[in-house]
Amino acid sequence: LKLTTVASNREHFERDLANLEEARLLAEALDHKPRLSQILYWIGRTHYVLGGFDLGIEYGEKSLAIAESVGGDNLTAPPVNLLGRLHNFTDPKIAAELLARSVEQMHALGNRIEEAGAAGLLGWSYAVLGRFPEAMQAADHGVEVADKIGHLPTLAACLHYRGQFHSFLGNLEASLRDLGAALDLVEESGDVFRKYIIYGCRGDAYRLAGDFQHAVPELTKSVDL
């Protein structure tokens, strides 16, 4: 289980899925529900990272069901957070409910990194639902927490989320300011994944503003990455 927490590439993730299956069988044989919930969470999270959203939801729900039966935020917080992230791709209403819970849980547990990340994603969910005042409040909270603790990858993510739905509102200047700040951070950290997303979002912000001359180069950079 600990080996899984330090995976960083596809080869590691595929190795970890095999290890986690072995760990699952051991936990079931031991009838150790808290450990089984953790293992199912990591199976779901690994599928999420690999783009297997349906499997991510399946294992996340199994993990949460066991965690709820045992009780305690320490056990329920990870699958709640995972399911909130996953439902951003399937059902933003469910995502918003889960992510709002996740922000509260992570704050109570003192996990400021996950609190900030969940708040940023909550802003995204609210924005997709058209709940823009709540979206801005959640996004601002994510940026403020990430900036306060100085966790640059999370700050970049939160700036990216806020910048993207500024573009939904037609606030091109604010969108480009947030996305530009996020890009500066990922250039420093070498996060190519976030960099590709941000270029795509900046291109989309220009597109929504009708500025196709600037949209095309940004979207082309995203495609190239």
Cα separations in angstroms, 91 against 29, 57, 65, 83, 201: 35, 12, 19, 11, 21
Q: What is the pLDDT of residues 140-191, one digit of tens each?
A: 999 999 999 999 999 999 999 999 889 888 899 999 999 999 999 998 888 8
pLDDT of residue 71: 81
Q: Is the pLDDT of residue 45 over 90?
A: yes
Q: How confident is the model at residue 96 (pLDDT cuts 50, 70, 90)?
A: very high
Residue carrying the six token digits 């199994």:
62
Report the candidate in 132, 137, 133 with the shortest Cα–Cα distance to residue 119.
137
Q: What is the pLDDT of residues 112-140, one digit of tens each?
A: 999 999 999 999 899 989 999 999 999 99
pLDDT of residue 106: 97
Cut 0.75: pTM above it: yes
pLDDT of residue 190: 83
Report the half-sphere exposure of 215 (CA within 13 A, side-chain side).
12
pLDDT of residue 165: 86
Q: What is the C-alpha end-to-end distance of the chain, expressed in Å?
A: 32
pLDDT of residue 53: 95
Q: What is the pLDDT of residues 56-84, one digit of tens each?
A: 999 999 999 999 999 889 999 999 999 99
pLDDT of residue 9: 82
Q: What is the pLDDT of residues 7-36, one digit of tens each?
A: 878 889 999 999 999 999 999 999 999 999
